[in-house]
Amino acid sequence: MKDDIRDRNDSLPSKPRRYVCHIGDCGKNFKSLFGFKRHQMVHTDKRPYVCDTGDCGKKFKDSNSLKRHQQRVHVHERLYVCNTDDCGKRFKDSRALKRHQMVHTNETPYICHIDGCERKFKHSDTLKRHQRDHANEKPYQCTELGCIQSFKSLYSLRSHGKKQNHKEYRLVKRFR
């Protein structure tokens, strides 16, 4: 039955390619107007896609080339600069910059309310780590065969792995 359907589909005429490039001796055919217009950029010097990362300004013929450029060239750039007190530290994203800027203020918006503790922190993750002390929670377990130790922070687990010369200390599993 399937073979019958396949045989019938093979004999069906394919959809005609309506758009043909007549520039030079190109002759490429396209089903869609979009594909045809995108292809025509190959034959021109137009580069309408401009990289707006920093002061790069490099131009490209299509959006895919621009995206590829940004991923290859600018992925590790630190474009967000801290201007507080002429600090000048640079960061990859605005979230990291905002986190850093707390260093320059005395602001401590994260407060521990467990058992009347009231200790204050600049960062939410530091508060969470502190709250693990109250609960004696250690969610980071060593995955090395034969090791049963657990830790309250990923940093502590990695330090343990390095000190013990565990082969797979970088392969960390978090459990709850």
Structure tokens at 107: 């602001």
pTM: predicted TM-score of the whole model, two decimal places:
0.40
**127 within domain boundaries:** yes
What's the rounded mean pLDDT across residues 33-42?
84
Residues 176 and 149 reside in one and the same domain: yes
Query: pLDDT band for position 155 (50/70/90)?
Result: confident
Query: In this predicted model, which residue has the larger pLDDT, 169 or 72?
Result: 72
Query: Which residue range is the domain that position 122 belongs to?
Result: 108-136
pLDDT digits (tens, 9 = 90+) for 108-127: 889 999 988 999 998 888 89
Residues 121 and 151 in one domain: no
Number of domains into which the chain is organized = 3
What own/partner pairs with CB < 8 Å and gap ≥ 24 does 138-141 have?
A: 139/174, 139/175, 139/176, 140/172, 140/174, 141/173, 141/175
- CATH code for the domain in which residue 25 is found: 3.30.160
Residue 91 DSSP code: E
- Is 43 within 8 Å of 36 (Cβ atoms)? no
Q: Are residues 145 and 132 in the same domain?
A: no
Average pLDDT along the chain? 80
Residue 77 covered by a domain: no
pLDDT of amino acid 119: 94
Counting residues of the chain whose pLDDT is more than 70, the rounded percentage is 84
Say if 39 falls within a structural domain: yes
- Answer yes or no: is 93 within a domain: no
Residue 103 covered by a domain:
no
